[in-house]
Copies of this chain bind each other. A is one copy, B any other.
Amino acid sequence: AVIIILNATPPPDPPAWRYECQQNRCVKMELNQSNIDTAISLPVCRLFCGENVPVWPKPTETIRLDPSTVRIKKSGINFRRPSTRSVDSLWSAIENRFTNQIEAKVAHTTGLKDEGKNLIIKFSVNESSNYNLESYTDERYKLSLSQTSNEAIAEIKAETIYGARHGLETLSQLIVYDDIRRELQVVAEGEISDSPVYKHRGLLLDTSRNYFSVESLKRLIDAMAIVKLNVFHWHITDSHSFPLVLKSHPDLTKYGAYTPKKVYTPESIRDLVQYARVRGVRVLPEFDAPAHVGEGWQKKDMTACFNKQPWQDYCVEPPCGQLDPTVDGLYDVLEDIYREMYDYFDSPDIFHMGGDEVSTGCWNSSERIQKWMLAKGWKLEEKDFIELWGYFQDNALERFDKVAGRKLPIIMWTSHLTEKPFVDKYLDKSRYIIQIWTTGADPKVQDLLELGYKLIVSNYDALYLDCGFGGWVNDGNNWCSPFIGWQKVYDNRPDKIAGQYPSQILGSEAALWAEQVDEYTLDSRFWPRASALAERLWSNPDTTWREAESRMLMHRERLVENGIGAEALQPEWCLQNENDCPIIKSGA
């Protein structure tokens, strides 16, 4: 392709290299005085060379970009937003984010020539659309690029403000810094129409095993916004710590938080939910029960087997702990917890009740529970403990419904309860969505699909990003080793896992369980691997990671540019020498 740069002469002291598009790849060539006027920088070359635009995730409908750029001045960015006053602050926050992203492109450069056309960004959305961000929010957008003699114009049309936000994200990826001319350039003419394949595109973070500052969570949401992920699934409590501050039960946090500062206050949660909304990300709260409960509950006498040893007999990792379903007062406490969560998380239209890894051994170690069950005429066998679990779940759901005032969809993890023959006895498929964390090939997944359940896919063999590090409750490496490379994440296809029932898959989440992660490695564990998930879910390409690799290397740099401490995947040499690091295919 011939790429046309509509610009002035480059400044002195340019870099050593320019790029030429040859056979669909950008080839590094020497830059010198004789070729500098028409020389093309790497990011400009990558905009047009080859089949794939560098936008991540790849747009799914129309992509037409004419191979020419125009220089713009960052001080000349203007927004024309719809006149719905009630959401002015939401628009402002979205626009500010965009401006900051453009600033980040030149933050570490010297001698920026901030000259060129103004960039006019015109939004139009359906004014009657819902300004809340919900499970079924329309995320489509259409981005059109054109220019006049003194303006570059980007028109973004969408049904909702959230679709428009996605369009802005795409636009920011079509603006590049040209290190030869030291100026910002935008694609001059083109059009992209885009919409996601899956509605539910999420990341799970566990903030109980280790604590993460609110600042670090915001960084996570920043990165999610870049790749159009839309669900932050917050596994906020577990048996290890209870960082959630509740006015109704301050003892849960007092005894449950690691320190008085390692907490999430109502204000910080509300702030985060709003921060996420500006970035098109819903915060999905999980209150995991009846297992995965422990610290914080010390004063309540409502748990069984807390920190009981040897832990192997009562849970999957220390400290053990489960709620005792037989304590009447428990459900009042749960109602209080649900009420405050429902409030701080801004009336979410979906809620996660956890429900994984309940241990019969734990409940069976409690004399109080045994007595209660026997008094009911039950036995102390597996199916009786399942009955007890069902009893807990019914009561908990009733309290949640009371709080929400409507019957919301409830997500639960795969567990013994979600297996045949229990699942449809205890979990109504019109109410419950099942999040699978078993392997993608596990026949239990097919069982659930056949029974008609809707699923969210988090198969641990491809989507548990904490795998592969040193063991901490066992010798050697941790339980789900080895480390999962971005390639495996990319090639993990929910539609293939669904077999004959693809329409029952709502989407997918990658999970970061935090036993061996805290805010210091948060960025590098998720990124850039979570970007591979993002493209799989937004675009669901028929191609594999091999076709995405060259774009992924560019994309990783984009994450870094935006302040995300994403892991390096390859030597920078491979980024600068496209396709010169060919992979040895194994077993081919």
Chain A residues with CB under 8 Å of chain B are 13, 15-16, 108, 179, 209-211, 240-241, 254-255, 258-261, 295, 307, 309-312, 317-319, 468-477, 481-488, 514-518, 520-521, 523-524, 560, 565-574, 576-577, 580-587
Bound CA–CA A523/B522 (angstroms):
13
B518 touches A581 (CB 8 A): no
Residue of B nearest to A529 (CB): B470
A586 touches B209 (CB 8 A): no
A240 touches B571 (CB 8 A): yes
Q: List 14 A-B contacts (CB under 8 A).
A: A16-B254, A210-B571, A241-B571, A241-B573, A258-B573, A310-B582, A318-B573, A319-B577, A468-B482, A470-B487, A475-B587, A515-B568, A515-B570, A520-B567
Residue of B nearest to A108 (CB): B261
A309 touches B516 (CB 8 A): no
Bound CA–CA A313/B555 (angstroms):
30
Residue of B nearest to A240 (CB): B573
- Find A319's partner among B240, B258, B573 (CB 8 Å cutoff): B573
Bound CA–CA A587/B475 (angstroms):
9
Known: A560-B520, A573-B295. A483 touches B485 (CB 8 A): no
Known: A468-B483, A481-B483, A486-B470. A514 touches B585 (CB 8 A): no
Bound CA–CA A382/B361 (angstroms):
66
B520 touches A568 (CB 8 A): yes
B318 touches A586 (CB 8 A): no
B516 touches A569 (CB 8 A): yes
- Find A520's partner among B319, B472, B481, B565 (CB 8 Å cutoff): B565
A517 touches B477 (CB 8 A): no
Known: A470-B569, A514-B571. A307 touches B16 (CB 8 A): no
B570 touches A516 (CB 8 A): yes
* B residues less than 8 Å from A470 (CB atoms): 483-488, 569
- Find A568's partner among B516, B572, B587 (CB 8 Å cutoff): B516
Bound CA–CA A309/B582 (angstroms):
9
B483 touches A477 (CB 8 A): yes
A569 touches B520 (CB 8 A): no
Bound CA–CA A576/B256 (angstroms):
12
Closest Cβ–Cβ distance, residue A254 to chain B (whole Å): 5
Give me the 5 closest cross-chain CB pairs, A-B, nearest first.
A470-B485, A520-B565, A209-B571, A240-B573, A475-B586
Known: A476-B485, A572-B211, A577-B307. A312 touches B584 (CB 8 A): yes
- Find A258's partner among B13, B255, B568, B572 (CB 8 Å cutoff): B572
Residue of B nearest to A488 (CB): B470
Closest Cβ–Cβ distance, residue A171 to chain B (whole Å): 26
A581 touches B318 (CB 8 A): yes
A473 touches B580 (CB 8 A): no
A475 touches B318 (CB 8 A): no
Bound CA–CA A258/B515 (angstroms):
37
Closest Cβ–Cβ distance, residue A180 to chain B (whole Å): 12
Bound CA–CA A295/B210 (angstroms):
43
Bound CA–CA A307/B318 (angstroms):
52
- Find A473's partner among B108, B566, B584 (CB 8 Å cutoff): B584
Closest Cβ–Cβ distance, residue A16 to chain B (whole Å): 5
Known: A481-B482, A482-B481, A524-B524. A307 touches B580 (CB 8 A): yes
Residue of B nearest to A208 (CB): B571
* B residues less than 8 Å from A576 (CB atoms): 258
Bound CA–CA A307/B33 (angstroms):
25
Residue of B nearest to A262 (CB): B572
A520 touches B523 (CB 8 A): yes
* B residues less than 8 Å from A475 (CB atoms): 487, 583-587
Bound CA–CA A560/B564 (angstroms):
19
- Find A574's partner among B318, B566, B568 (CB 8 Å cutoff): B318
Known: A307-B577, A476-B586, A581-B318. A482 touches B485 (CB 8 A): no
B468 touches A468 (CB 8 A): yes
Bound CA–CA A13/B517 (angstroms):
29
* B residues less than 8 Å from A211 (CB atoms): 572
Closest Cβ–Cβ distance, residue A50 to chain B (whole Å): 19
Bound CA–CA A587/B474 (angstroms):
11
Closest Cβ–Cβ distance, residue A220 to chain B (whole Å): 15
Known: A15-B260, A468-B482, A485-B471. A309 touches B571 (CB 8 A): no
- Find A521's partner among B309, B468, B568 (CB 8 Å cutoff): B568
Residue of B nearest to A14 (CB): B260
* B residues less than 8 Å from A586 (CB atoms): 474-476
* B residues less than 8 Å from A209 (CB atoms): 571-573
Residue of B nearest to A576 (CB): B258
* B residues less than 8 Å from A573 (CB atoms): 209, 240-241, 258, 295, 318-319
* B residues less than 8 Å from A583 (CB atoms): 471-475
Bound CA–CA A571/B179 (angstroms):
44
Bound CA–CA A487/B516 (angstroms):
14
Closest Cβ–Cβ distance, residue A465 to chain B (whole Å): 12
* B residues less than 8 Å from A241 (CB atoms): 571-573
Residue of B nearest to A571 (CB): B209
Residue of B nearest to A559 (CB): B520
Bound CA–CA A284/B523 (angstroms):
31
* B residues less than 8 Å from A468 (CB atoms): 468-469, 477, 482-483
Bound CA–CA A574/B88 (angstroms):
47
* B residues less than 8 Å from A560 (CB atoms): 520
A518 touches B568 (CB 8 A): yes
